[in-house]
């Protein structure tokens, strides 16, 4: 593991500011993670990116997780990381130094725990991670950009992100507040855009799709509505057929494509 840059070595990089307009315009919408991923890929040539917030010894909170391609690899890996491996992250060894901000490069072979290395790196074809850490009071924000095996990842892009980290962190937190699946605004926005995509979608099928977007399981929907899991699955299958999609990811992309 190598600390590539610390706070004193990070210079302002005004080039980054041209990307802020799209991030600001997508706040609170389903487009924000995709916009951030496009930015991270262009600057860092990465395959997926995650942003965590950690306070003291508490487990990290996922602020953002996005990746290239139709699957949700970043979200799945982030869940495993928080559930089983975050305390094994070698970056924790340098996270509490005197530098408020630093950029750390980590190779997967530097991870001692074989399960952690397999689940979060090898199984998804990832070899290297650049981690940008920002410490404010008792909170540490960590941006991770991951690359595939054999890909030469530049660090200059992470420096450009680092030089604007305060503004970027504020945007991420604002997006989290606006787009929280627990908020009525998220559900209302998703419902409205899905209705626009398929006006003929029956109400119950619509609500199943909204609940899927909110992260509810079929079992949770069945309990909430007092119906069987099989009935929920039937509603989902019918909705997907009407929408001409086959997966949760396609559902999200369908709504993203109808952003105002």
Mean pLDDT value across residues 42-68: 83
pLDDT tens, residue by residue, 165-213: 677 777 777 777 766 655 556 677 778 888 888 999 999 999 999 888 7
Domains of the chain (ranges plus CATH)? Answer: 2-177 (3.30.450.80), 184-256 (1.10.10.10)
Phi, psi of 252 (to 5 degrees): -65, -40
pLDDT at 242 over 80: yes
pLDDT at 239 over 90: yes
pLDDT at 128 over 80: yes
pLDDT at 10 over 50: no
pLDDT at 224 over 50: yes
Nearest one of 220, 185, 179, 211 to 62, comparing CA atoms: 179
Secondary structure in 3-state letters for the chain: CEEEEEHHHCCCCHHHHHHHHHHHHCCCCCCHHHHHHHHHHHHHCCCEEEEEEEECCCCCEEEEEEECCCCCHHHHHHHHHHHHHHHHCHHHHCCCCCCCEEEEEEEHHHCCCHHHHHHHCHHHCEEEEEEEEEEECCEEEEEEEEEECCCCCCCHHHHHHHHCHHHHHHHHHHHHHHHCCCCHHHHHHHHHHHHHHCCCCCHHHHHHHHHHHCCCCHHHHHHHHCCCHHHHHHHHHHHHHHHCCCCHHHHHHHHHCCCC
Q: What is the mean pLDDT of the chain?
A: 79
Is 221 buried (19+), middle (13-18) or exposed (0-12) by CB count in 10 A?
Answer: buried
Give me the residues paired with residue 126 across strands.
Answer: 148
What percentage of residues in the chain have a pLDDT greater than 90?
20
Mean pLDDT value across residues 223-243: 92
Given the DSSP bridges, would you call strands 48-55 and 61-67 parallel, antiparallel or unpaired? antiparallel
123-127 contact pairs (CB < 8 A, 24+): 124/73, 124/77, 125/47, 125/149, 126/47, 126/48, 127/151
Give me the residues paired with residue 103 across strands.
Answer: 5, 132
pLDDT in the model for residue 221:
85
Is 0.95 surpassed by the pTM of this model? no
Instruction: State how far the alpha carbon of 245 is from the alpha carbons of 82, 143, 217, in Å.
Output: 30, 32, 18
């Amino acid at each position: 593991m190598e600390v590539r840059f610390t706070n004193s070595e990070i210079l302002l990089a005004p080039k980054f500011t041209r990307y802020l307009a799209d991030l600001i315009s997508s706040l609170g919408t389903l487009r924000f993670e995709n916009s951030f991923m496009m930015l991270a890929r262009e600057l860092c040539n990465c395959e997926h990116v995650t942003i965590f917030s950690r306070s003291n010894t508490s487990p990290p909170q996922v602020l953002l997780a996005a990746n290239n391609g139709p699957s949700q690899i970043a979200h799945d890996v982030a869940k495993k990381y928080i559930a089983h491996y975050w305390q094994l992250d070698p970056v924790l060894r340098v996270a509490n130094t005197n530098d408020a901000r630093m950029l750390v490069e980590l190779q997967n072979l530097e991870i001692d725990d074989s399960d952690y290395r397999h689940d979060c790196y090898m199984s998804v074809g990832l070899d290297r991670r650049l981690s940008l850490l920002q410490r404010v009071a008792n909170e540490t924000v960590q941006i991770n950009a991951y690359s595939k095996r054999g890909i030469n990842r530049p660090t200059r892009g992470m420096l450009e992100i680092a030089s604007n980290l305060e503004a970027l962190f504020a945007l991420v937190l604002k997006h989290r507040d606006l787009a929280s699946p627990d908020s009525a605004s998220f559900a209302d926005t998703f419902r409205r855009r899905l209705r626009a995509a398929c006006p003929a979608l029956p109400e119950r099928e619509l609500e199943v799709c909204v609940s899927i977007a909110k992260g509810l399981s079929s079992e949770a929907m069945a309990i909430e509505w007092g119906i069987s899991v099989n009935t929920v699955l039937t509603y989902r299958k019918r909705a997907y057929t009407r929408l001409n999609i086959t997966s949760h990811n396609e559902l999200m992309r369908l709504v993203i494509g109808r952003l105002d």
